[in-house]
Amino acid sequence: MTDGKNRKKVFVSLKLPEPLVEMLTRHFDVEVYEKDGLIPQELLCEKARTVDAIVATAWIAIPREVIACAGPNLKAIVNFGVGYNNIDVAAATEKKILVTNTPDVLTDATATFAWCLMLSAARRIGEGERLVRTGKPWHLTPCDFWGCDITGRTLGVVGTGRIGTSFAMKSRGFDMKVLYHDVVDNTTLDRELGARRVDMETLLKESDFISLHVPYIPATHHLIDARAFEIMKPTTVLVNSSRGPVVDEVALAHALKTGQIWGAGIDVYENEPVVNPALFELENIVMTPHVASASPESRQGMARLAAECCIAALNGERPSAVVNPEVLN
Number of other residues whose CB lies within 10 A of the CB of residue 118 = 26
- Rounded to whole angstroms, the Cα distance separating 98 from 76 reads 5
Crossing angle for the helix pair 107-122 and 125-133, to the nearest 10 degrees:
70
- Which H or E element spans position 89? helix 89-94
- Rounded to whole angstroms, the Cα distance separating 23 from 19 reads 6
The partner residues of 240 in beta bridges, in order of sequence, read 212, 266
Determine which one of 249, 290, 299, 308 is catalytic.
290
- Which H or E element spans position 158? strand 154-158
Instruction: Report the C-alpha dihedral over residues 186, 191, 152, 224, rounded to 10 degrees.
Output: 0
Determine which one of 27, 94, 272, 304 is catalytic.
272
230 is catalytic: no
299 is catalytic: no
Q: How far is CA 119 from CA 150, 166, 280, 309, in A?
A: 8, 16, 20, 36
Determine which one of 124, 181, 213, 243 is catalytic.
243
243 is catalytic: yes
Q: Which residues are annotated as catalytic? A: 243, 272, 290
